[in-house]
Amino acid sequence: MTLDANARVYLVGSGGMLGEAVFNHFNAGYETRATDLTPRADWLGQIDAANFDQLSHDVRDFGADLLINLAAQTDLEFCEREPLVAWRDNALGAENCALLAQQLEIPCVYISTAGIFGGEKTEYLDYDEPLPLTVYAKSKLYGERFVERTCDQFFVFRAGWMMGGGPQLDKKFVNKVYKQIKGGARELRAVTDKLGTPTYTLDFARGIEHVVKSDLHGVYNQVCHGAGSRYDVACAFVEALGMSDQVTVHPVTSEFFAAEYFADRPASEQLVNFKLGERGLDVMRTWQECLTEYAALYVEDLNS
């Protein structure tokens, strides 16, 4: 498709940390409608991606030229406890978006995850075979494959350890570390035996537009450059806050958090942006550069 200034972009499930970044990015250049199951702001409409009729009516009324599906249950433990909810939101919602986009003959963008891999390798290319370990991973892989099988025009983007949204919106690792620090903790623990690739929401949103404009449909790994452990990220974040002399991060194994985080996580979910690189479409920066930029939001919050 030609993603020009007249394009109308519809975002499903846009209420989270990535959804807000994608909305802000696309809304700056296109007519954009953002929806979510439970809207938290006035720029969000209320639409359930798992309700095909509701979704179809709204997308058609808007006259969408591009459908971006961001709707997902991403909490691994919640998905294990509530598998029907996970399959409803991650699989049925993905089916509905793909079927609708195909009916309308418009491109469908689906956000997948590095978590679909099983950890038997150290790093994964776009072409490596997934081996999902959890309900979350299985439901996301199902959505990914349904989109690929159903849509003539599709883009699947696999994200890594997401960071973005700041203290109010980030539900992932960086903000969990920050909440401990802001709460007064000066002794932290982070695991060394889980490897991944941090992924900054702002870069990711920019990457979606860049690839969609290329009209080169397919499945893409899209993560920040560089890799590391949760311990590496925690140490870099503390340093970016300027608190290395006040906060100590202790290395531990996953056994330390086994009771709280009981879902089976792969030993490594490090992705390589192979296809993006080969096609000259990679706009992602290093995770260290992005984390330093992102940490400025937390420095501001600490000083407020």
At 303, the pLDDT band (50, 70, 90 cuts) reads: confident
Task: Answer yes or no: is pLDDT of 128 > 80.
Answer: yes
The average pLDDT across 270-295 equals 98
pLDDT in tens, 152-203: 999 999 999 999 999 999 989 999 999 999 999 999 999 999 999 999 999 9
Helices (DSSP H) in 28-172: which residue ranges? 52-62, 76-81, 83-87, 93-104, 135-150, 166-169
SS3 251: strand
Ranges of each domain in the chain: 8-166+197-227+270-281
Q: For residues 62 and 283, what is the distance between their CA atoms, to the nearest angstrom?
A: 30
pLDDT in tens, 135-151: 999 999 999 999 999 99
Please, what sign has the CA dihedral across residues 293, 295, 301, 304? negative
What share of the chain has pLDDT > 90, as a percent?
A: 91
Domain 8-166+197-227+270-281 listed as CATH 3.20.20.80: no
| Residue-averaged pLDDT of the chain | 95
CB 130 within 8 A of CB 116: yes
pLDDT in tens, 235-278: 999 999 999 999 999 999 988 888 888 888 999 999 999 999 99
The average pLDDT across 83-102 equals 97
Q: For residues 129 and 111, what is the distance between their CA atoms, to the nearest angstrom?
A: 17
Secondary structure element (H or E) that encloses residue 250, with its range: strand 248-252
Shortest CA distance to 23 belongs to which of 144, 202, 223, 219?
Answer: 202
Which pLDDT value is given to residue 1? 64
HSE-up of residue 51 (Cα within 13 Å, Cβ side):
12
Shortest CA distance to 67 belongs to which of 9, 2, 13?
Answer: 9
Q: Which residues of 22-58 are buried (b: 16+ CB within 10 A; e: fewer)?
A: bbebbeeebbbbbbbbeeeeebbeebbbbebeebeeb
- 157 strand-pairing partners: 111, 220
The average pLDDT across 53-62 equals 98
